[in-house]
Amino acid sequence: MMPHTSILCFLACYVVAFGLELTRFRGKSAVSRLISLGFTGAGLLAHTWYLLNRSHETSLPPLLSSTHDWMQVAAWLLALIYLVLAVLQNEMALGVFVLPVVLVLVASTYGLNHAPNNEIYAMQARRSWGLLHAALLVFGVVAAAGGLLSAVMYLLQHRRLKTRHAQPGGFQMPSLPRLAQANRWAFLLSFVLLTLGYASGLMLAIAAPDDEASVSLMEPVVLISGGVWTLMAGVVGWLLVHRGPVGRQVAWLTIVGLGCLLLTLFGLQLATGNIHSGTRSAAHAAQPEVRR
């Protein structure tokens, strides 16, 4: 049996790492940066262990088992990407921006139901499609979070440069072109991934056999997500048409577009406790015993 790791364990590591990242405002400190990276790494390790445990308990990949696990995976991915970037770009104060999102994601899972999504056990044959749907959505959400954060950083950097303020010694942000590029690519990537994610979800719903659990296309989550997707498509269209140097407008647009998307997705998750809460099938034939 695998030893258990609690959420508090890695949450505490991320909190300490974030606290150390905040000391950048007081000046450069190689030691504090190193300790911060150490805590992030330790947190990520514990986080990975936790997800493996959950997967082992539910006999399902974390992406499929529950909204709780799905959000944990999103937080894990963000923490992983942050750690890689922090090692490569040690001077940049990325943790000040990324770690709060990781913390919010992890902390918000406290209020969510741990119980696995019962329909998943029933849809044995289409489980890999379900996995693809969930994976595309989670990667899309992480890309959206990246786009949102780069847009916020762009606006802060732009404001600093316009108001002619020196940047605090340890609080370095990437240059405007780099942030604009990251913003644009993250937005486009999230749009593509989320489009594919929604499309695969729709296909799953349409192609579901009568005797198996399915999601209604009239479910609020499907309708609201469709609305947000349309908004994103509008922004993407605008981005593709305006290729000129309009960085600040792009940043504001992505903040609105991706902000709406993330608020909708996570708001729905938190409000309903499960993304597909509207339908519950009685087909629980293949459900194994779940250890809590």
Question: Is residue 161 within the footprint of other proteins (CB under 8 A)?
Answer: yes
Contacting residue, 89, 90, 124, 175, with other proteins by CB under 8 A: 175
Q: What is the dihedral of CA 63, 64, 67, 68, to 10 degrees?
A: -60
Near other proteins by CB under 8 A, which window of 26-34, 117-125, 188-196, 271-279? 26-34
- CB of 163 vs other proteins, minimal distance in Å: 10
Residue placing its CB nearer to other proteins in the complex, 114 or 158? 158
Distance CA 185, CA 227 (A): 22
CB 176 within 8 A of CB 197: no
Contact window for other proteins (CB under 8 A) among 60-68, 112-120, 168-176, 199-207: 168-176
Q: Which of 224, 248, 264, 281 binds other proteins (CB under 8 A)?
A: 248
Q: Is 92 helix (H, G, I), strand (E, B) or coil?
A: strand
Cα–Cα–Cα angle for 230, 236, 239, nearest 5°? 150
Tell me which residue has tokens 């034939």.
285
156 lies in the binding site for other proteins (CB under 8 A): no
> Alpha-carbon distance 90 to 109, whole Å?
30
The 3-state DSSP class for residue 283 equals coil
Is residue 96 within 8 A of residue 42, CB to CB? The reply is no
Binders of other proteins in range 177-196 (CB under 8 A): 177-178
Q: How many residues bind other proteins (CB under 8 A)?
A: 23
Q: Is 127 in the site for other proteins (CB under 8 A)?
A: no
Q: Which of 13, 51, 73, 173 binds other proteins (CB under 8 A)?
A: 173
Q: Give me the least distance between CB of 32 and other proteins, in Å please.
A: 12
Applying CB under 8 A, does 88 fall inside the site for other proteins? no
Q: How far is CA 46 from CA 40, 147, 236, in A?
A: 10, 27, 37
Residues in contact with other proteins by the rule CB under 8 A: 27-28, 30-31, 157-158, 160-162, 164-167, 169, 173, 175-178, 244-245, 247-248
